């Protein structure tokens, strides 16, 4: 029997999971148009390899990955590329992002180059990973980290591969339905992943409110005789489905702050990812569809098998929602989901749930009071925090804009789960403040980097002037020396000394710059958009530094 | 189409400040009934006076400070302050005592510090201590339970006493009032009488505390347990406070039962239980980390014992609470929990909690 552990805090939420699990999963209607963002994962966006006007087939590669942490994009149905342009996507900042837009032709013609693997044991783990990468599989639990990277043990020995079936947010049931209907396939996927990782054992963690899914899994494990797989029920507490929390519940170990599960010999994948891996290896199918829960104030809450790129509004209407009465549409669950500004946003590889709420909805959201009250220091937030932070202190320093202290209180360990917010009797939008503080800190660090570059340029200039003065003097001296000692030939050693001095000065400045680069503290577990922001900021800084170097070099050449 | 785009989370537990405060008041109702049963109508009249004054003072100050009045007046915090203060004022104290205390508590101890959430001290206790220091005579005229002095003072008579100072049946305040059990113990121990003799020789002592007092205590205890059960307060402070008081009083009791009253007596006399569940647990002025709350509770328990036994006042609850209020920021600073994934908690922060930020 697997021993269970407990994480600190957490909250009990009303589940709202009945409606959508009443009927089996159905394929969603083929949309007229598919919108496929080039970035549906954490990392570098993919690069389009089709052009407007191209005919594409279902499963055809249309954008190739760039760099290691990236994932390709495939056409989810056959049709014609009509645009490669910016389109509204799910992003808190309401920014648009480059997408490939395909008009479907309704024929669903598959591409020819599907390559099933008859026996994956014949291939080395690297080849399996390459296939998973080529299939465009990313973490389907929400984070969207490219799966092949997380299936690479690199230097580590992987002890435990955890499959996350603890779908802890209210309303969401797509993983549960997947397990009920495809338990065997998920287990095969898990075995392939275990092989790729060379992991010792596997644990499937599943919340104890999903009895049917649990029984189906256990049965399949027994049938397949895979005694290295434990199917374990975990208590239904939000946020058990968080990667770090699930690892803690199942193993009692904590992922070190700023580290990865791999550091403690654990890798955690979502059940949907395992299913996608199964399809990729067994049928050579890329990731072009996924299960999505549609719930809220729609007439028929249900789970659909949705082609990636389908606009959200199509699915809402298919489930009996009405676009004219919508007041809030959330992508994801009510605790961590993003409220959409535009209903034409497409479903991506990481979309697990669409919550549509009407103005006069029969499933009202427990909305917040209009005005937050002051913090009364009741400590409810600290009691609920699964990371054991003190949200009331974080809030205090966020309001005071004291960004040093807020980092001392481990702001960057906050997983933005929303538990604190949920229980706060003063209805303070705590998570909002934490996001704001994180963004501010990133912005400040970016500015500091810019200031450093400016300062260095200034220093280079000073040095150059100084050096020129020195050189002038030396020239004078040399001349005099030459005049003085025309018979002897002394001279070239001074030149070398000068060069060395310049070299040393440049060296010093470089070291200083490196020492001055600020390392943001504990920025693990970021949401994709945060990661993106950091990456962008880093890229900008790099570019600026490069420019500064060139500038400095030019300066010193003059 | 206009869609709301608030940031997550999109749901809330529904527990608000006012519902918490109302439950605190509700938890006190059985104790109020018991108190009225044993000691007459004085408490009820005091509660009305204190709550009305507290609300008026709150409204007035919010207005002067140009803060929205409605949300703060209905948050229930002034209600709780008035209620707790009334509990600490003798039942026949003249009306202006109660009014002054409540007004002082709200205006000085709460609003001048920035209102809800910003007061470093428990307002009710500040009000009480101000009264105790300024009007020691009026504040120590406690009445014995009805059973002891065989006098039933009716509602009208009580009103009369409180508002006009006229006593029925040609009685005087001296005839009506009497030392409390804690007082009695303190004075007589000073005269070298043993605890057993004191308790046996005085009708005001009941089975484990004072007559009447012990029953009020029971109901306070029940109300408090209900609050813990309902997650309105956490168990840390009450358990730590009562636990430390019991342990320390037990130690001295075992040392010399003649000179030190038993732990039961300490629990069920004076304001111990009220302090444990209703006063020390005031979130704003208490420690807020789980471990910090335990130290905070222990501190109050120990201080109550020390002040009662060796200090100049018979009951030390108010002073103990205020002293620990002062220590709360420091306690919080040294009791931060270890954050997930960190080897240990560390304190790189200055213990300044209320000295910066955005005071209104
Ligand atoms: S839950 Fe809200 S009111 Fe209570 S301490 Fe936390 S932030 Fe303050
Ligand atoms: S959002 Fe952050 S601070 Fe709040 S409970 Fe979750 S982890 Fe803790």
Give residue-wise pLDDT tens across range A490-521. 445 666 777 787 788 788 777 766 666 555 56
Q: What local confidence, expressed as pLDDT, does residue B176 receive?
A: 65
Q: What would the mean pLDDT of A91-95 be, rounded to a whole number? A: 79
Q: Which helix (H) or strand (E) holds A534?
A: helix A528-557
For chain B, positions 326-355, list CB contacts with chain A under 8 A.
332, 336-342, 348-350, 353
A523 Cα: distance to centroid of ligand 2 (angstroms): 14
Q: What local confidence, expressed as pLDDT, does residue B141 receive?
A: 78
Give the one of A343, A402, A418 whose C-beta lies nearest to B356's C-beta: A402
Q: What local confidence, expressed as pLDDT, does residue A521 receive?
A: 61
- For chain B, what percentages of helix, strand and coil (3-state, to nearest 5) are there? 60, 0, 35
B111 contacts B54 by C-beta, under 8 angstroms:
no
Q: What is the DSSP string of A309-378?
A: T-BHHHHHHHTT--TTTEEEEEES-TTTPEEPS-TTPBP-TT--EEEEEETT-SS---PPPSSPPPP---
Ligand nearest to the CA of A373: 1
Position B43 pLDDT exceeds 80: yes
For chain B, positions 42-81, list CB contacts with chain A under 8 A.
68, 71-72, 75, 77
A326 contacts B1 by C-beta, under 8 angstroms:
yes
**Helix (H) and strand (E) counts for chain A?**
14, 17
For a mutational test of ligand 2's pocket, the pick from A380, A406, A420, A429, i.e. the residue with the most ligand atoms closer than 8 A to its C-beta, is A420
Residue A95's pLDDT band, with cuts at 50, 70 and 90, is confident
Which of A53-67, A343-357, B144-158, B252-266 is predicted with the least confidence, judged by mean pLDDT? B144-158
Beta bridge partners of residue A83, listed in sequence order: A101
Q: What local confidence, expressed as pLDDT, does residue A184 receive?
A: 93
B203 contacts B136 by C-beta, under 8 angstroms:
no
CB A391 near ligand 2, within 6 Å: yes
Q: Tell me whether residues B117 and A341 touch, CB distance under 8 A.
A: no
List the one residue out of A262, A252, A274, A227 whose CA is nearest residue A157: A262
Q: What would the mean pLDDT of A268-292 be, rounded to a whole number? A: 94
Paired tokens of A62: 């249309």
Position A70 pLDDT exceeds 70: yes
pLDDT, averaged across chain B: 85
Q: What local confidence, expressed as pLDDT, does residue A489 receive?
A: 52
Sign of torsion, CA A55 A57 A61 A62? positive
**Pairwise CA distance, residues A353 & A19, whole Å:** 14
DSSP state of A446: H
**Pairwise CA distance, residues B247 & B253, whole Å:** 10
Q: Give phi and psi for B271, each to the nearest 5.
A: -105, 25
Higher pLDDT, A230 or B39: A230
CB A170 near ligand 2, within 6 Å: no
**Pairwise CA distance, residues B225 & B277, whole Å:** 8
Q: What local confidence, expressed as pLDDT, does residue A214 receive?
A: 95
With a CB cutoff of 8 Å and minimum separation 6, the contacts of A363 are: A16, A295, A296, A297, A357
Q: What local confidence, expressed as pLDDT, does residue A487 receive?
A: 62
For chain B, percent of residues with pLDDT exceeding 70: 86
- The pLDDT tens digits for B143-178 are 777 655 666 677 887 887 788 777 766 666 666 666
Is the CB of A225 inside 8 Å of chain B's CB atoms?
A: no
- The pLDDT tens digits for B206-262 are 666 667 777 888 899 999 999 999 999 999 999 999 999 999 999 998 888 877 888
- The pLDDT tens digits for A394-414 are 999 999 998 888 998 999 999
Packing angle between helix B42-64 and helix B155-164, nearest 10 degrees? 50
**Pairwise CA distance, residues A228 & A202, whole Å:** 6
For chain A, positions 231-290, list CB contacts with chain B under 8 A.
244, 248, 254-259
Which of A335-349, B70-84, B307-321 is predicted with the least confidence, judged by mean pLDDT? B307-321
A415 contacts A525 by C-beta, under 8 angstroms:
yes
For chain A, percent of residues with pLDDT exceeding 70: 91
A15 contacts A172 by C-beta, under 8 angstroms:
no
The residue whose two tokens read 């604190």 is A420
Residue A558's pLDDT band, with cuts at 50, 70 and 90, is very low
Position B353 pLDDT exceeds 70: no
pLDDT, averaged across chain A: 87
Q: Tell me whether residues B13 and A244 touch, CB distance under 8 A.
A: no
For chain A, percent of residues with pLDDT exceeding 90: 57
Q: What would the mean pLDDT of B105-121 be, rounded to a whole number? A: 93
Residue A372's pLDDT band, with cuts at 50, 70 and 90, is confident
Compute CA distances A234 → A2, A201, A246, B212, B340, whole Å: 10, 18, 9, 50, 19
Position A522 pLDDT exceeds 70: no
CB A419 near ligand 2, within 6 Å: yes
A186 contacts A178 by C-beta, under 8 angstroms:
yes
């Amino acid at each position: 029997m697997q021993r269970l552990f407990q994480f600190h805090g957490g909250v009990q939420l009303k589940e709202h999971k009945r409606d959508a699990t009443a009927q089996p999963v159905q394929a969603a209607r083929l949309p007229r148009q598919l919108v496929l963002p080039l970035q549906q994962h954490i990392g570098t966006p993919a690069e389009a390899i089709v052009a407007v006007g191209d005919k594409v087939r279902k499963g055809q590669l249309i954008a190739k990955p760039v760099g290691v942490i990236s994932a390709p994009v495939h056409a989810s149905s056959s049709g014609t590329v009509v645009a490669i342009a910016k389109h509204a996507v799910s992003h808190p900042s309401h920014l648009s992002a480059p997408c490939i837009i395909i008009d479907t032709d309704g024929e669903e013609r598959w591409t020819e180059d599907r390559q099933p693997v008859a026996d994956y044991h014949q291939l080395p783990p690297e080849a399996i990973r390459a296939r998973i990468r080529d299939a465009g599989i990313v973490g389907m639990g929400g984070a969207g980290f490219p799966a092949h990277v997380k299936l690479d043990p690199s230097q580590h020995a992987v002890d435990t591969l955890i499959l996350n079936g603890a779908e802890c947010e209210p309303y969401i049931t797509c993983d549960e339905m997947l397990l009920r209907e495809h338990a065997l396939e998920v287990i095969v996927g898990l075995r392939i992943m275990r092989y790729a990782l060379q992991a010792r054992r596997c644990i499937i963690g599943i919340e104890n409110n999903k009895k049917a899914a649990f029984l189906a899994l256990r049965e399949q494990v027994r049938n397949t005789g895979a005694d290295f797989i434990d199917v374990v029920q975990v208590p239904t507490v939000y946020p058990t489905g968080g990667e770090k929390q699930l690892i803690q519940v199942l193993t009692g170990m904590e992922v070190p702050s700023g580290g990865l599960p791999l550091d403690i010999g654990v890798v955690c994948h979502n059940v949907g990812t395992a299913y996608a891996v199964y399809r990729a290896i067994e049928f050579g199918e890329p990731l072009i569809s996924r299960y999505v829960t549609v719930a809220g104030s729609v007439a028929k809450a249900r789970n659909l098998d949705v082609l990636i790129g389908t606009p959200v509004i199509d699915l809402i209407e298919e489930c009996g929602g009405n676009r004219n009465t919508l007041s809030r549409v959330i992508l994801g669950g009510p605790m961590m989901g993003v409220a959409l500004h535009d209903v034409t946003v497409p479903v991506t590889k990481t979309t697990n749930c669409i919550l549509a709420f009407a103005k006069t909805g029969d499933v009202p959201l427990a909305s917040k009071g209009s005005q937050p009250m002051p913090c009364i220091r009741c400590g409810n937030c600290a009691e609920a925090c699964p990371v054991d932070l003190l949200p009331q202190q974080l809030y205090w320093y966020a309001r005071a804009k004291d960004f040093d202290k807020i980092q001392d209180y481990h702001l960057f360990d906050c997983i933005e789960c929303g538990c604190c917010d949920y229980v706060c009797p003063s209805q303070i939008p705590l998570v909002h403040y934490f996001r704001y503080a994180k963004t501010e800190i990133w912005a400040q660090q970016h500015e500091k980097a810019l200031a450093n570059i400016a300062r260095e340029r200034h220093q280079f200039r000073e040095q150059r002037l100084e050096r020129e003065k020195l050189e002038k003097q030396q020239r004078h001296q040399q001349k005099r020396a030459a005049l003085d000692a025309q018979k002897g030939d002394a001279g070239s050693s001074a030149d070398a000394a000068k060069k060395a001095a310049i070299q040393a000065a440049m060296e010093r400045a470089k070291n200083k710059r490196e020492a001055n680069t600020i390392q943001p503290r504990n920025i693990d577990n970021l949401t994709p958009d945060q990661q993106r922001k950091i990456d962008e900021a880093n890229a900008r800084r790099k570019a600026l530094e490069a420019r500064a170097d060139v500038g400095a070099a030019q300066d010193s050449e003059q | 189409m206009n869609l709301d785009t608030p940031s997550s989370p999109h749901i809330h537990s529904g527990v608000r400040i006012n519902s918490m405060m109302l439950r605190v008041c509700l938890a006190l109702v059985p104790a109020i009934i018991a108190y009225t049963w044993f000691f007459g109508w004085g408490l009820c009249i005091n509660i009305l006076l204190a709550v009305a004054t507290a609300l008026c003072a709150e409204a007035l100050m919010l207005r002067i400070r140009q803060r929205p009045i409605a949300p703060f007046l209905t948050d229930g915090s002034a209600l709780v302050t008035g209620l707790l203060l009334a509990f600490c004022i003798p039942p026949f104290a003249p009306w202006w005592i109660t009014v002054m205390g409540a007004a002082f508590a709200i205006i000085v101890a709460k609003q001048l510090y920035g209102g809800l959430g910003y007061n470093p001290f428990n307002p009710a206790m500040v009000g009480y201590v101000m009264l105790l220091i300024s009007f020691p005579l009026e504040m120590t005229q406690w009445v014995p339970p009805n059973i002891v002095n065989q006098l039933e003072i009716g509602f009208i008579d009580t009103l009369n006493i409180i508002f006009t100072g006229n006593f029925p049946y040609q009685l005087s305040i001296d005839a009506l009032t009497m030392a409390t059990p804690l007082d009695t113990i303190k004075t007589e121990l000073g005269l070298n009488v043993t605890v057993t003799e004191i308790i046996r020789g005085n009708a005001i002592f009941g089975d484990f505390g004072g007559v009447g007092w012990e029953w009020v205590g029971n109901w306070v205890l029940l109300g408090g347990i209900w609050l813990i059960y309902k997650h309105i307060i956490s168990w840390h402070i009450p358990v730590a406070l009562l636990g430390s008081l019991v342990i320390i009083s037990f130690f001295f009791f075992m040392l010399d039962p003649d000179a030190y009253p038993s732990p039961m007596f300490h629990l069920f006399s004076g304001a111990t239980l009220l302090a444990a569940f209703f006063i020390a647990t005031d979130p704003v002025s208490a420690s807020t980390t789980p471990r910090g709350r335990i130290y905070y509770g222990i501190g109050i328990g120990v201080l109550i014992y020390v002040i009662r036994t060796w200090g100049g006042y018979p009951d030390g609850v108010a002073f103990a609470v205020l002293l620990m209020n002062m220590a709360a920021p420091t306690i919080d600073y040294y009791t931060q929990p270890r954050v997930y994934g960190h080897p240990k908690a560390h304190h790189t922060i200055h213990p300044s909690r209320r000295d910066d930020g955005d005071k209104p």
